[in-house]
Amino acid sequence: MLGTLSDLVKGTVGVWVTTNRRKRSIQDNEIALIKAMLVRGFEKTQIQAYFTHPQRPVNFGRITNIENGEYGPEVSAASSDDLDRFLSSWAEHRGLAIEHLADAALDITLLPPTAERKLLSLFIRKDDGNWALDHKETDNIECKKNFHPNGKLFRAISALANNRGGYVLFGVTDEGCIATGMDSRRFLENDPNYLSQKVRAAMEPMPRIEVGHCLIDGKFIGAIYVHPEVDGPVIAAKDDENFREGTIYYRYPGESRAVRPAEFRKILNERDRRVRQESLTGISRLMELGSRAAIIDMGEKTSEATKIVRESVDDADVLRNFLRQNTVQFPLAYVLRSVNTAKRWLPIFYYIKLSGLSISQALGEIAARETSHVASRRNLVERLLGRKTAYAKPVGRVARILKDIKSNRPIIPETASEAAHVAQAIAGLESTTVDLSRLSELLITCAEAIRRDKSAKAVFWSSLYKAASRLDELYFGERLQTQSDRPNSQKTAA
């Protein structure tokens, strides 16, 4: 029978401990436990975690040697009871399992809202052994036992968006907020783009949402995180179960219901405060630029006014507003951003369409701009004339992803690398047969995956911008170019 964990490490107990025939870094009693873990089906990386410490790392290959009988062949495997006692003693001795030690050291406020560690931090283990929400349902968490994309869910999403945002959790009881789990297939097989379309059709404006999940004691918990809507209030746009057209819902502690007058005033006051702040910022900027720049003809935008807006637009603004199909106030400024950046690929045709300009007129505006990025302006002109395209022929894994996209299969990139492959697949589209809103939502998901990875390579972002530019030329550029008086020319892939 095993003694304490410290006794075990010293190799002084256990009927299966034998005398070392040669000096080993891993003792016989540890070898016995490793063999028992291998019999039980533990992954080798997991076994490594149990026996590695700063003073004595355990090599992955050493575990393979033990498995093959090349290291400690004379040592018998520990019994199942001995292994159970070791695992229990190990957890007690360390205080936390290895995977939870990292959580304890990590500032979870830095994690994305749907990161697994962030979701796990919402729960605590109760005295009866069940896991439950730390603070039960609040004004930023709503619990549901199962996942159904219907009016009840729309009500929860719009209510959270009109307050300070928060979570809708699935697989958690309403009474007691106990993590009972749910059918993972029902949640994971749901196409996130389909969900976004349903939410977009149900309310106006559509709040930004993120989807995630975690496992608690083997129980699957789904999550939708709802960001607060700064351009609110969010209003129900159709009737559905417990969801009424024209109603403004608000999240109160423990319930989502029609907004009360006090909270409605709060929403409007916050919106007014933000508008005032933006106005003050704009006025301060105009004062910095001088009186000439402050004179803006509201009937016809002057070049000075365009200059002011252009200076405040960056590459991320161009990408974000295109993917969300936002109507911007000065679309020409977004076109001209491509003249003033080293980035080769930015959406342009969508903003030309918003500006009401023809291709020829847009070329005239571009030619009139002074820039130090001469190559960028030349690249932009080539794109407007149809001589350069963001299309890239997909091969291998990228081609398979594109096939899944065309077949409307759910795609959820988890890593920056996966997101880059999805973006490359979208750049390989040859026609507009796939719904643009679905593709845009997919690229937004890719952007979030790349943003979460602090070590993501710059080339991943380049793939994302190029994919957006491909959508831009497919869904907006070809029609504009057809209407223009551009010369016939052969497109060349870049």
Q: How much is the average pLDDT of 192-216?
A: 86
Q: What integer pLDDT is reported at residue 349 of this predicted model?
A: 93
pLDDT at 494: 45
Nearest Cα neighbor of 310 from 326, 330, 283 is 330
> Tokens at residue 323, please?
């993917």
pLDDT at 428 over 90: yes
Q: What is residue 424's predicted lDDT score, i.e. its pLDDT?
A: 93
Q: Give the pLDDT of residue 111.
A: 72
Lowest mean pLDDT among 91-105, 197-211, 226-240, 341-355: 91-105
Q: Do the beta carbons of residue 385 and residue 352 sit within 8 Å?
A: no
Residue with tokens 């490793």: 34
Residue 204 has pLDDT above 60, yes or no: yes
Higher pLDDT, 278 or 446: 446
Residue 298 or 256, more confident: 256
Tell me the average pLDDT across 248-273. 87
Site of tokens 């019994």: 79
Looking at residue 93, its pLDDT comes to 55
Question: Residue 95's pLDDT band (boundaries 50, 70, 90)?
Answer: very low
Q: Which pLDDT score is estimated for 107?
A: 56
One-letter amino acid at 238 equals K
Lowest-confidence pick of 285-299, 417-431, 443-457: 285-299
> Percentage of residues in the chain with pLDDT exceeding 70?
80
Across the range 241-267, mean pLDDT stands at 88
How much is the mean pLDDT over the chain? Answer: 79
Q: What is the pLDDT of residues 137-176, one digit of tens each?
A: 788 899 999 998 898 999 999 999 999 999 999 999 988 8
Identify the band that residue 305 occupies on the pLDDT scale cut at 50, 70 and 90: very low
Top-confidence residue, 75 or 487: 75
pLDDT computed for residue 312 by the predictor:
61
For the ranges 403-407, 415-419, 490-494, the lowest mean pLDDT is seen at 490-494
pLDDT computed for residue 129 by the predictor: 84
* pLDDT bracket for residue 301 (50, 70, 90): very low
Query: Is the confidence at residue 472, as pLDDT, over 60?
Result: yes
Scored b (16 or more CB within 10 A) or e, 29-52 reads bbbbbbbbbbeeebebeebbebbe
pLDDT for the residue 468: 94
Please indicate, yes or no, whether the overall pTM of this predicted structure exceeds 0.75: no
pLDDT at position 493? 43
Residue 223 is predicted with a pLDDT of 93
Q: What is the pLDDT of residues 96-106, one digit of tens each?
A: 444 444 444 45
Higher pLDDT, 182 or 21: 182
pLDDT attached to residue 481: 59
The reported pLDDT for the residue numbered 329 is: 80
Task: Say whether pLDDT at 42 is over 70.
Answer: yes
Residue by residue, what is the 3-state secondary structure of the chain?
CCCCHHHHHHCCCCCCCCCCCCCCCCCHHHHHHHHHHHHHCCCHHHHHHHHCECCECCCHHHHHHHHCCCCCCCCCCCCHHHHHHHHHHHHHHHCCCHHHHHHHHCCHHHCCCCCHHHHHCCEEECCCCCEEECCCCECCEEEECCCCCCHHHHHHHHHHHHCCCEEEEECECCCCCEECCCCHHHHHCCCHHHHHHHHHHHEECCCCEEEEEEEECCEEEEEEEECCCCCCCCEECCCECCECCCCCEEEECCEEEECCHHHHHHHHHHHHHHHHHHHHHHHHHHHHHCHHHHCCCCCCCCHHHHHHHHHHCCHHHHHHHHHCCCCCCCHHHHHHHHHCCCCCCCCCHHHHHHHCCCHHHHHHHHHCCCCCCHHHHHHHHHHHCCCEECCCCCCHHHHHHHHHHHCCCCCCCCCHHHHHHHHHHHCCCCCCCCCHHHHHHHHHHHHHHHHHCCCCCHHHHHHHHHHHHHHHHHHHHHHHHHHCCCCCCCCEEC
Q: Which of 297-311, 378-392, 413-427 is predicted with the least confidence, judged by mean pLDDT?
A: 297-311
pLDDT at 20: 39
Cα separation, 281 vs 205, in Å, equals 25
Q: Is the pLDDT of residue 9 over 90?
A: no
Determine the average pLDDT of the residues in 259-267: 87
- 373 or 262, which is more confident? 262
> Domains in the chain, please, with CATH?
5-100 (no CATH), 111-258 (3.30.950.30), 299-494 (no CATH)
Model pLDDT, residue 25:
76
